[in-house]
Amino acid sequence: MSPTPFTSTRPTPASLGPLVARSRLARGWSQSRLAAELCAAAGVCTLSRHEISRWERGVRAPGRFWRGWLVRILALPVGPAHPARRVSAPTGSNRPRPATNATRRRVGGSAPRTPTH
């Protein structure tokens, strides 16, 4: 007798794409609209309709962060809806910003200069 394969009620990455597409189309939304709704809810503007297309075609699977927002926006059964963090202001990128003159620390421990007028 062969072991029974484990089955889950959660969709696999390959079946998640069509589920996203069906849910999006059921609401009458375009891929751009879904991307805009997800960005607005998450407070970050890093998602485009191109990434939605990749998810729907199964080229890529949404990461944990976006799966959490998909659960909220489209009510998808893609696993536990972890409380996704809402950022106070969209940064446009998850990479650290380069230091500016105002934030760069001086080498040698000297105090920053005070402008004189």
Q: Is residue 92 a part of any domain in this protein?
A: no
What 3 state SS string does the chain have?
Answer: CCCCCCCCCCCCHHHHHHHHHHHHHHCCCCHHHHHHHHHHHHCCCCCCHHHHHHHHHCCCCCCHHHHHHHHHHHCCCCCCCCCCCCCCCCCCCCCCCCCCCCCCCCCCCCCCCCCCC
Q: Is residue 20 a part of any domain in this protein?
A: yes
Residue span of the structural domain in which 43 resides: 13-74
Q: Is residue 116 a part of any domain in this protein?
A: no
Q: Is residue 19 a part of any domain in this protein?
A: yes
Q: Is residue 54 a part of any domain in this protein?
A: yes
pLDDT in tens, the chain (117 residues): 555 444 445 555 567 899 999 999 999 999 999 999 999 999 999 999 999 999 999 999 999 999 999 999 998 775 544 444 444 444 555 555 555 555 445 455 555 566 666
| Number of domains present in the structure of the chain | 1
CATH (domain of 57)? 1.10.260.40
The model's pTM: 0.57
**What pLDDT was estimated at residue 90?**
46
